[in-house]
Structure 1
Amino acid sequence: MAAFLFLLFLLSEAASDFIVVPVHPGEDAILPCRAADVSIRAVEWTRPDLDPPEYVLFYRDGHLDTTHLHPSYKDRVDLVDRELKDGDVSLILKNVRRQDRGTYECRVASGGFTHTKRAILDSEPIRTIRLQITDSNSGHDNNENSTPVGRYVGLGVGFALLFLTGQLILDRCLFAQYRLC
């Protein structure tokens, strides 16, 4: 039983850190991200598959920095709230294209962030989001290789329930065996 609860805890934690955002081509998408610390000096949105040091969005000291902005995001990205109220650093991606599909990471720097030549923040992402481009007719992802998080959680819970059921059957058999002795 303890193994089941531990597995369920791990799966729920993993699912909470990874969000799938479905959107149709041509629509605007909001990729949600909220920082715990509200004294934010810099916000960075990246895609791991982009060549460094290019990024999707970099915002520091009240201004968008386009120095190393990836060309495909020019004039298509902004923050939901440039004042970063309550730590909201969510990204708006305008006029979504099929090639926008992929994993996005949100990072922030608080308080003592200092300006460097390299804009990319070296911290761990506070949010990872998978942008899923859906077919406007069916509502399904056009990428046949897509693997939504929910599928993994469902499989994990299914295996955990199967394990738990097997453990209960084994326990009953052992109990019955000892009872007959």
Structure 2
Amino acid sequence: MSAGTSEFFCLICALLSTCTALTADLGQNVTMPCQFFGNKHNNITLLKWSRPDQGPDSYILLYEDGRFHPDKQLPSYKDRVYLEDMETRDFSLILMNVTMEDRGPYECDFVEEGWNQLSRTTSTTFLEVVEPGNKDGNTGDGGNKTRVIVGSILGVILLLAVLGSVGFLIYRRLMKKNPNLPVPSDEAAAGQML
């Protein structure tokens, strides 16, 4: 995965607030969040942690039919992943001894069954791995990572400004073409507010 892809993913995470971005030092243990807040009496029929960037069946951890399936686990995660606390329905993934290859997106997906209905929950975490001591984002690339993030944010702001301006110009053009559209005067608008 290229450096630009990770910044783009982190920007989307920040804008949509549907996922978490974490940074871990090489060799460190990291916990990726995934919690169940539903009815604790509901049965969890499926729980899987996967790497969506590595294909559809790229399981880090798979629990299905009441048991774990280590035979379906990606080999590089064998004996390095654990759940925080299955009993309390905290499905956060603990990844031990983080490597550079662990960098990328992770998805926690679980299905609960209760009262003749199924509900599915998915959360996404993007893991950035850095050399120890580089938590400030200094990746030794001369600041390119920071420039990409700032440039991406400014690009989104500029895009929103352009879209707002275009919308305003379209509105003004419509008003010029049809001057008979009712526009409340200041006095009428003030009277409506009371």
Output the TM-score relative to the length of structure 2. 0.59
User: Which structure 2 residues correspond to residues 77-116 of structure 1 after superposition, within 5 A?
Assistant: 77-83=81-87, 85=88, 87-111=89-113
RMSD between aligned residues: 4.2
Residues 12, 107 of structure 1: alpha-carbon distance in 2 compared, 3 angstrom cutoff: closer
> Could you tell me which residue of structure 1 aligns to residue 157 of structure 2?
157
Q: Distance in 2 between matches of 1:57 and 1:69?
A: 6
| Larger RCO (alpha carbons 8 Å, 6+ apart) | 1
CA contact (8 A) 2:106 2:126 kept: yes
- 116, 125, 128: which is aligned to 2:124? 128
For 1:22 and 1:12, the matched residues in 2 are separated by: 14
Percentage identity across paired residues of the two chains: 30
Task: Please say if residues 50 and 57 of structure 2, whose CA atoms lie closer than 8 Å, have aligned partners that are also in contact.
Answer: no
Unaligned regions of 5+ residues in structure 1, if any? 1-10, 113-122, 172-181
CA 1:54–1:167 in 2, change beyond 3 Å: closer, same or farther?
closer
Structure number, greater radius of gyration: 2
Q: Distance in 2 between matches of 1:131 and 1:74?
A: 18
SS state at 2:72 partner: coil
Aligned to 1:4: none
Closer, same or farther: CA 146–89 of 1 in aligned 2, 3 Å: farther
Q: Which residue of 1 aligns with 2:179?
A: none
Q: Supply the distance in 1 between the matched residues of 2:91 and 2:149 (Cα, whole angstroms).
A: 23
Deviation, structure 1 residue 166: 8.4
1:69 pairs with one of 70, 73, 77: 73
Cα distance in 2 for residues equivalent to 1:99 and 1:79: 20
1:20–1:149 contact (8 Å) kept in structure 2 = no
* TM-score, scaled to structure 1: 0.63
Which amino acid in structure 2 is aligned with residue 160 of structure 1?
A: L
Which structure features the higher share of strand residues? 2
Post-superposition offset of 1:132: 0.5
Superimposed CA distance per residue, residues 133-176 of structure 1 (whole angstroms, 9 cap, x where no aligned partner): 1232332275979799887555423542565578889x9xxxxx
Structure 2 residue runs of 5 or longer lacking an equivalent are 1-11, 172-194
- Cα deviation, 1:15-71, whole Å, max 9, x if unaligned, reads 211321110111011111224534323210000233553410112466432021110
Match for residue 19 of structure 2? 18
